[in-house]
Structure 1
Amino acid sequence: MKILEWKIYGFGKWNDQSMELSTTQVNLLTGPNEAGKSTLYQFILFMLFGMNPKQRERYLPKSGGAMGGRLVIETETEGVVSIERIHDRHNGRAVCRMETGEEYGEEWLGELLGAADRHVYQSIFSFNSEDLLSLEEVTGENLGELLLNIGLTGSDEIYQTEKWLEKMTEDRFKPKGRKPIINEQLQRLETLDRERRAAEMEEKDYRRFLEEEKRTREELDYLDQAWQENLNRLYRAQQLIKARPVLLQYHQTKEEAEGKDKNLPFPVSGRERYQQLRESLLPLESEQRMLESRIEELREEQAELLDKVDEDMGGLAPSVLAEKEGYERLSHEQEQLEERRLSLNESVNRDLKNMDVPVGVEELDEYTLPFYIEETWRDLHAESQMVEQEERRIEEQWTEMSRTFDRVEVRKAEIEEERISRDQRDRYEKQIEAAYESAAASNPDRQGRTTKDQLYKRRTVGAGAAVGFVLFIGILIASGAGNGWFYLLLLGLAAISGSAAFMSHKRIRILAVSAANKLPISPHGLEEARRQMKREEKLQAEWEHLHQQWKRLSQEEIRLEEKRSHLSQRKNRLDAGIDEQKSLYPFLTSLQLAYWEKLYHLLTRARDKKLELNQTVKRMEENREQLLLSEERLKAFHHQMNWEFNSKDVQRGWQRLSDWIHEQERIDERRQQLEQSILGMKEKAKTCLDRMKVYQDKKYELFSMAGVDKEEDFLLKSKEKEEAEDLHARLYELGQRVEGMLSDEEQQEYAVWSMVPDESFLHATVEKFQAEKEQLEAKKKDTQKLLVETTSKLQSLERSGRRSETAHRFQTEKDRLQEQVKEWAKYQMALQFLRKTKQAYKDGYLPRVMDAAERYFHKLTKGKYGEIFLSEGTEVIQVRDGDGVVYNPEELSRGTRDQLYVSFRLALAETMADSFQLPFLVDDAFVHFDKDRLDTMLQILEDISLRNQVLLFSWRSDLSVHFRSAHTIELTS
């Protein structure tokens, strides 16, 4: 596979860039640091193998646009294939297009590349200075192991599989381990075996202990029953002692309640109801007294306000005050107009000052600025710029034409000096013609085709081809950058002409050599004559081409003179237009043409401000007349009211009038409020009396139900009723407490409702039951101890019945151990097979890599080191020099170690050539090579380029001289 070209849409610093590569030469991409070499290196890897989204974000274009590109490759099986990847399209997956127009995806590209993924590619066909730098971190045996692993690189799956198999076997068994599965299973089997043997020794006296346990349990049940009965009696006696104070209160309260009648005639909740009525009547009575007092106060205030009302002037004042708002509005407007007048006047003067043109404020009204003047001034400015540009362009063309004239004249003079004289040219022609005639005479079979005219015709054809080639070069030089298709056409014609000239020259040379053998002139002299004539023909063709170019330049000189004349006429017309405008607007004389259009806008804005200023002054005069009329009416009202009026403080007069009117309105409003308040309070007083009557009726109704007429009798009877109810409620509460403390059985046994039990009798009963309880508990404790001993012996014997269960568990765990051993054996066999396969791979494949690496290393070191081999046992890479001294890699110099590393990479690529035909990428990997090493390395790369395409990225711009033939691409930072 070889890369023909690439097109970068956007990748890192690269944006919209295309490059074509050579398939037979080393492609040398040079440029200084930060020129983008490493970015191109990553672009190729991205196009072939892709990147994940996070990696792609690092190379998003710095100047925006799509991230991606197109890579055109040539393969032996599929021909030319175009690979396109775009970051935000198809999730960065490749789209492959064939020459036939068919499209394929990422999977097809993977099949095309075969087993080569990114890791394989970078391990075999790509290395850079960072790879050599990372090699510095590996020394001694690690370096040999690293290079050995490179030889086995195709994927890291073999390494991962080997590590996984080792982990699986070690997780299952280690000879001296305890954690692995099989080790733990062996320990478990040993424990079960000990338990099984112990269980077989414990099967005795089981029946006897069962009978003894039964008797002991029956005796313990009897003791529990007797203990519980005794405990109940003790609890009842103790509860009665606790309840005795409550029983005593109950019987005392019962005696008091028997002398009270709880059925006296009295309303239900009578006292509370009477109290609520009293609380409701008190605020109503207080409110009634307060309303009567407030009505009297309002009548007095109403009489005082009536003396302050002036009904005569009250009708005139509002009409005068109605003009206040208009007066204030006009005054405020007058102030704003004055500020606006001053601002406009200052702005107009400032604008005229900033314009710096001889125009006064009063002259603004004199000059008319119609709408078309702006366009006229703009056209004059544009025409002035175009005239200046045209004049500058003509001068540049004239200067360039003069330089070209000089070059043509100098070259024509050089050609005249280089050409041979006429006599020498005639002598050379005669020698060549004589040689052709002699050659034709000595070959009768070709006499018809080698006459003098035919030989002259062939020579003319050759000369014509040479002239065509020279014309082609001249056209390219004269025309500069042109159409690409036109160049391709000229290139094809030049190739045809050159081919014809070459074939004609070849046939002429054969005839000339043949004829030279029969002439007095030597073959060397004939060859010199032919060379001089060929050189003369080329010089003649070049001279004619220069002469034609000289004629074209003369015609160009005439055209430039015509352009100069036309430009002079345009300048005259432009000056006339400018003078006309200056005569109409004299102030333009002091201003450059480029600023006329801007001055038009400034003058227009200044004239608009002047017009607004005139209108503002007129409006101020009208407002002043209206203000004087309003002041006269206000002054007349003040005289009628005998108030002092100051014409300099009119606002104070308006305020005094407004305050007087507001005071009259407030008095009138207050009189109305007082009238409404009096009516409202009278209505409230009536409502209050009605509400009081309702409560008084309810109070007399309560007196009637209690059978009394006065409040004192009602309260006394209420107290007697409450005392009787409290005693009966207390008696009921104590009875409930007794029932809660004593059960029905205890109440009947001790007859608590008829009398209070004797306290000394109760204490004696408690002591008796307590002694019986202690005796029963001692017997229970001895019996329980005997039961525990018997039960323990039974449980010990029952374990002997688990012997079969223990044996079953032992066999189950043993079977499980066998399965685990089988599984461990499978992993162990797989691991041994993988290691044998790796060893077989090394034995059969690695020697080829070692031989190739030895050959490259020998060549790179100029034969100083002749052998590379692996040490026995450790398989560490070692080298032997010409004197037989063996070195480890860390004993070599930095440059020699780099050569050793590069030798292995080249050897690996050569060995893998049958499986992979991919481009070889090298990124500044030879920074530690001296000149001799570098020359040898570049020759090796040039040899590799015949088999694999080579792309060499370097900051050195002088590397191209070290190659026999290289395709150089210069990158700029």
Structure 2
Amino acid sequence: MLKVYSTREVTNVRLKEATIFGFGKWVDYTIDFTDHNFICIYGDNESGKTTIQQFLLFMLFGMPPKKRADYRPKTSSKMGGRLTVEDPEAGTYTIERLHDVRNGKAVCYTPDGNEHGETWLQERLNGMTKETYQSIFTFSAVDLLDIRHMKEDDVGEVLLGIGMTGSNSIHTLEKQLEAELGDLFKPFGKKPTINQQLTSMDTLYSSLQEYRETKDEYRTKREKLNQLTTEMEQLQVQLDEAKDAVFRLDKKLQAFPVLKDYQKVKEQYQSYPEQLTFPENGIERLEQLNEYLMPMKSELSVLQHNLEEYKTKQDAIRNDFYHSDVYEQLETIIQRKQNWLDCQQELHRYEEAIQKLAWQIGKELNQLDAGISVDDLTSLQLPFSAEKIWNQVKRDNDQIVVMKEQLEREHKQLLKEQAYLNEQKDKLQASLTDEAQEHALQETIRQYHHEEHMQWDLAEQTNQWDQLKQRKEKNALNWLVVGIAMCVALMVAAFMQGAMYLWGIAGIIFFVSIGQWAVRKQSFREFEKMFTSKRPQSGQVTEEMKREAEQLLSESEQKKQELSIVQDKLQSNEMEILKWEEKQSGLNQRENRLNKQIADQYRQYPFLERIEIAYWPAFYHTLKHVLDLQQDKEQQEWEYDKRLQESKQFENWTERTFRDMNWEDTGKSVEDKLADMEHVLQKYRDDLARMEQYDQWIAETEARRRQIQKKMRVYEEALTQLMTVAGTDTQEEYLKKGKQLKEKQEYANRMSELDNQLARILPGDDYETFITMELSEEHVLKSAYESESDRISELERTIEKKRELRADMNAELAALETSESYSEALHRFTIEQEKLEHLAEEWAVLKAAKEMLTETKRNYRRNYMGQVTEKTTYYFHQLTQKAYNAIYPPEENKPFRVEAKDGIRYDVNELSQATIDQLYVSLRLGISEVMSEKHRLPFIIDDAFVHFDPARTKQVIALLSEVSQRQQIILFTCKTSVVEAATNVSLIESDSSVRIPLP
């Protein structure tokens, strides 16, 4: 029973909006997916549809850096964008990916204000990868071509692989495993790797058996060689011991001259007193103290002379000073000098500013030409509210003018559109096909299908009649042959027995057989004539007539739809005209209110009657500026009078001070008198600075003198301490005692050097005994040296003889050891055995993988193939206009089979290519719906219907519309026929981000 799926509310993940910052050719581009669940993105080839599809995959699953580089925009430095997704569980969230930020990883912004990373996004997609998504939820015309390129016998298996995994990868993987297993091992093969390895090991084993025969002889000679080597090693030990003894005796003989020098230096060292009291580095310390004391004594004399000179100069300066009150008064006047100078500059500036403001005010009033004088400015008040009112009046007036022009244009456009729509309505009504003609066209199509069905039935009946006819003719012929055979037998029996009745019976049987055969032959001819007379007349309705009728019906249906659209637009036009009349009425009321407001302003400000309303805001600012200038002028005049009074007071004070000091002031200006006061005050400051400098120098000199005296006391105390330690009273005695200590130290150093030299020549044990040896024992060492040398020569000769004997034995063993020796062959056999084990393990892994793949296919078939087949059957039933009622999945070596509505079953390779394409599309839709119950993702189709005729295109678009009620579908196409068929689809042109509204 064919199952019909009811529509339900979409609970799958939906794409709402895509914003492309930069991706391929697209920069700052937005796509709105909000309105419908079935979106068609239309554009010509090379218009960027594939780039948009890759952008959606990039936002959902990311992209490797090398592949991202292929989509970097040429006209922008930014690459990436945002994708807004509606999830029934997580709500609406936005995915953001940028090429140069976080290495292209996603950041997801959720409605609660939180940010999430790539891991959170993968959890929302239930672990879906890009490859899995493309194999289940996307397909294109290329996938259909892959089916066409396969062999007919493999079509069923490839469809099964697609049904199980969403692609034909499982088929390829299984073939690859079989090929690799065959390359490794075949039971009766020679070329596979494991077969060759087994052959090689058989050869090695044979060689190994040959080498084992010579193993015993080799072992005996090897034992003798080992014994000889042991004896040589023992002799070598004795030789090494003798050489070591000779080496030690030789070292002692070399050290004898050094021993003689050591004993001589030791006698000279012992001639000095055992104890010499003297400071450490005493001579150098004495010389250093004398070097420090001499410059200090010289500097102390110079400092005393400088002190006397500084005090004399201070007394001379102090006699030239005025009284301190005089300097305080001069200081006060000079401090206020700068204020007086600034006041003079401000007076000059105020005079210029007042003149400039007066000239500017007059100029501005002349430019206004509003009948306002300078005297009027003092009484004129211009509140802040006036600006707001004048601006509002100006805006209202401008808006009314613009709205009048706009309404006039809208009225003309509406009338023009109404006339055009009426004209289109009349044309369409005139071109419509009447009902009688439509009924005749439908009857033509029905008659064509009826005749086609009758032809199929006739062919089936003809086939059955031919089979029955052959079977009946064969039976009639058999009866004829049997009758003739019986007749001949009876005739023979009658001839031999002479029985006449047998002749009669034979004749009866013969005529009966001939009659039966002739009657059946005649009945076959009459029945075939009757069957032929009942055949329907063919060719009354041709296929061309049927296609022409379908085309005329399609055109008629399209014109009806266009007429309905025109009528809807006419109704909308009438509503727009009513809205226009309401707008015109509201504009008139608004204009009346504005005229009342303008009259009120004329009463308050009569001068506005001379100004156009468009210039009121500018006039306000200009008039406000003139009033501000008048206030600035009045403020400047007040400040000028204030500064002039302050300047007069300072000048009178300066004149009075100059007279009190009895200084000559004939013909001097205020500036000159101030300069004289500054000169007197500056001389006083310079003298004070010199007095302070002399005080500082005197203090520094005194401090330096005390410091030098204190430092000298330290050095003198150190000098006295050196004399006390050495036990001398004068420096001469001190130097003599230091010389003796130096000579004794030199002898001690020489003894240490000779002792170190002996220690380097002799080992540790020999050194301890040799240092106390008498010089007369030298001849004993020479005698022992000669004895050990003779023993070394004898041992070397014995070792040489045994070395020659070992060389002969090595030569004999070398004759037994060839390049293919036993150990080498055994080693190679072991290596080859390990290689064989590795190959066997690899074969076992591949065999297990193939078995697991086969078991996985069976499990998948048990778990999902039933659901996929059920949904595929429903979609295939709809796409083929209910021509097929059932689909049967592959069984053993049988491919997919379909059952037509008449009950006849067809293999998939017996169908037309277009029907195979429809079966493939149905299968992919069924897979997507089964998988969407877990993954809930949109379905993307890329120009998969380019080879469909218009009728099949309409059928598949209608089916996708039904599927879109449960799952969002995005269709990319460059074919206008697909766009024309998609009448209930949200259409987006790829060269514009503006959505084309639905009709």
* 2:293 equivalent among 277, 281, 288: 281
2:951 aligns with one of 939, 957, 962: 939
Separation in 2, partners of 1:35, 1:750:
104
Contact 1:219 1:783 in 2 (8 A): yes
User: Separation in 2 of the partners of 1:777 and 1:149?
Assistant: 88
Residue 600 of structure 2 corresponds to which residue in structure 1?
577
CA distance in 2, matches of 1:941, 1:741: 109
Do the aligned partners of 1:849 and 1:907 also contact (CA within 8 Å) in 2? no
Deviations 1:459-510 (A, max 9, x none): xxxxxxxxxxxxxx99995675889xxxxxxxxxxxxxxxxxxxxxxxxxxx
* Structure 1 position 625, deviation (Å): 3.0
- The 8 Å contact of residues 265 and 750 in structure 2, kept in 1 or not, is answered as yes
SS in 2 for 1:369: coil
Answer yes or no: is 1:291 the counterpart of 2:311.
Answer: no
Separation in 1, partners of 2:956, 2:233 = 105
In structure 2, what residue type is equivalent to 1:823?
A
Shift of 1:237: 1.8
| Alpha-carbon separation, structure 1, partners of 2:322 and 2:742 | 71
* SS of equivalent residue, structure 2 residue 35: strand
Asked if the contact 2:377/2:627 (under 8 Å) is kept, the reply is yes
> Structure 2: which 5+ runs fail to align?
20-29, 73-78, 97-105, 110-120, 127-131, 424-565, 862-888, 931-937, 963-968, 993-999
State the Cα deviation string for residues 403-440 of structure 1 (Å, max 9, x = none). 99999x99xxxxxxxxxxxxxxxxxxxxxxxxxxxxxx
Q: Does 1:18 align with 2:35?
A: yes
Contact 1:192 1:806 in 2 (8 A): no
The CA deviation at 1:968 is: 8.3
- State the shift of 1:169 in Å: 1.5
Match of 2:332 among 319, 331, 341: 319
Q: How many residues align?
A: 741
Give the match's secondary structure for 2:216: coil
Q: Per the alignment, in what secondary structure is the counterpart of residue 18 of structure 1?
A: coil
How much identity, in percent, do the aligned residues show? 17
Aligned to 1:667: 687
Question: Which 10-residue stretch deviates more, 251-260 or 820-829?
Answer: 820-829
1:597 aligns with 2:617: yes
Q: 1:301 aligns with which of 292, 300, 313?
A: 313
Distance of 2:940 and 2:232 partners within structure 1: 101
| Corresponding residue of 1:374 | 387
Whichever residue aligns with residue 685 of structure 1, its letter is R
Task: Spell out, residue by residue over 1:375-419, the C-alpha distance to the aligned partner (whole angstroms, 9 max, x if none).
Answer: 443454466457657877997899899999999x99xxxxxxxxx
* Cα distance in 1, alignment partners of residues 81 and 225 from structure 2: 98
Counterpart position of 2:547: none
State the alpha-carbon separation in 2 of the partners of residues 306 and 843 from structure 1.
133
- Distance between the aligned counterparts of 1:732 and 1:721, measured in 2? 17
Describe the superposition over 1:153-205 as per-residue Cα deviations: whole angstroms up to 9, x where unpaired: 43334224314413652574486668x56755764675466446524531248
Q: Give the superposition deviation at 1:611.
A: 1.3
Instruction: Please tell me whether the aligned partners of residues 169 and 824 of structure 1 are also in contact (alpha carbons under 8 angstroms).
Output: no
Distance 1:902 1:382, change over 3 A: same
SS of residue in 2 equivalent to 1:263: coil
CA deviation map 1:701-749 (0-9, x unaligned): 5445545443233223322332233223323442343244335765687
Structure 2 equivalent of residue 52 of structure 1:
61
Tell me which amino acid in the other structure corresponds to 1:618: W
SS at 1:293 equivalent? helix
- 9 and 171 in structure 1: CA distance in 2 versus 1, 3 angstrom threshold: same
SS in 1 for 2:17: strand
Contact 1:238 1:766 in 2 (8 A): no
Q: Counterpart amino acid of 2:895?
A: Y
- Within 5 Å, give how 1:841-920 maps onto structure 2: 844-845=894-895, 902=914, 904-906=916-918, 908-909=920-921
Deviation at 1:675, TM superposition (A): 3.7
Contact (CA 8 Å) 1:250, 1:731: kept in 2 or not?
yes
Q: Check 1:629–1:260 CA distance in 2 against 1; reply closer, same or farther (3 A cut).
A: same
SS at match of 1:845: coil
Partner of 1:776: 795
1:165 aligns with 2:177: yes
1:616-673 Cα distance to aligned partner (Å, 9 max, x none): 23213322332343345445656748578986783x7656644542432332243244
Cα deviation code 1:213-260 (max 9, x no counterpart): 44763564245224423433334323542x345334324433543544
SS at 1:368 equivalent: coil
Give the match's secondary structure for 1:10.
strand
Rounded to whole Å, the distance in 2 between the matches of 1:375 and 1:299 is 84
Question: Comparing 391-400 with 773-782, which one deviates more in the overlay?
Answer: 391-400
Give the match's secondary structure for 1:165.
helix
Residues 63-462 of structure 1 mapped to structure 2, 5 A cutoff: 67-68=84-85, 88=95, 119=135, 127=141, 151=159, 153-154=162-163, 155-166=167-178, 168-169=180-181, 172-173=184-185, 180=193, 183=196, 187=200, 190-191=203-204, 194-195=207-208, 197-204=210-217, 210=223, 213-214=226-227, 217-218=230-231, 220-238=233-251, 240-241=253-254, 243-261=255-273, 263-264=275-276, 266-267=278-279, 269-311=281-323, 313-331=326-344, 359=372, 363-378=376-391, 380-381=393-394, 384=397
Q: Please state how far the C-alpha of 1:607 moved relative to its aligned partner.
A: 2.0
Separation (CA, whole Å) in 2 of partners of 1:213 and 1:568: 132
Look up the equivalent residue of 1:52 and give its one-letter code.
Answer: F
Secondary structure of 1:844's aligned partner:
coil
- How far apart, CA to CA, are the structure 2 residues paired with 1:638 and 1:270? 77
Check conservation: 1:9, 1:67, Cα contact below 8 A: yes
Cα distance change of structure 1 residues 618 and 822 upon mapping to structure 2, 3 Å threshold:
closer
Cα pair distance change 1:809/1:960, threshold 3 Å: closer
State the superposition RMSD in angstroms: 6.8
Instruction: Determine if contact 1:253/1:731 at 8 Å carries over to the other structure.
Output: yes
CA 1:902–1:649 in structure 2 vs 1: closer, same or farther (change >3 Å)? farther
Give yes or no for the alignment of 1:696 onto 2:708.
no
1:681 paired residue number: 701
Instruction: Say if 1:711 and 1:19 are closer, same or farther in 2 by CA, change over 3 A.
Output: closer
Mark the CA change 1:786 to 1:120 in structure 2 (over 3 Å): closer, same or farther.
Answer: same
Structure 1 residues 278, 384: closer, same or farther in 2, change over 3 A? same
Q: Say if 2:177 and 2:850, in contact at 8 Å, map to a contact too.
A: no
Question: Equivalents in 2 of 1:790, 1:11: separation in Å?
Answer: 90
Residues 1:823 and 2:844 aligned together: yes
Q: Distance in 2 between matches of 1:338 and 1:65?
A: 67
Residue 551 of structure 2 corresponds to which residue in structure 1?
Answer: none
Contact in 2 for aligned 1:30/1:954 (Cα 8 Å): yes
8 Å CA contact 1:331–1:627 kept in 2: the answer is yes
CA distance in 2, matches of 1:30, 1:264: 114
Amino acid at match of 2:650: S
In structure 2, relative to structure 1, the CA distance for the partners of 1:341 and 1:264 (3 Å cut) is: same
Distance 1:176 1:252, change over 3 A: farther
Q: Contact (CA 8 Å) 1:288, 1:688: kept in 2 or not?
A: yes
Distance 1:332 1:795, change over 3 A: farther
Counterpart residue identity of residue 629, structure 1: Q
Q: Which moved more, 1:820-829 or 1:32-41?
A: 32-41
Equivalent-residue separation in structure 1 for 2:702 and 2:42 (angstroms): 111
Q: Tell me, in whole angstroms, the C-alpha distance in 2 between the residues paired with 1:82 and 1:250.
A: 103
User: Separation in 2 of the partners of 1:768 and 1:106?
Assistant: 93
Contact 1:9 1:69 in 2 (8 A): yes
CA contact 1:10–1:67 (8 Å) conserved in 2: yes
SS in 1 for 2:386: helix
Structure 1: 5+ residue stretches without partners? 22-26, 71-80, 94-104, 111-115, 411-472, 484-548, 857-866, 871-876, 878-899
What is the distance in 2 between the residues matched to 1:282 and 1:942?
122
User: Which AA in structure 2 matches 1:779?
Assistant: T
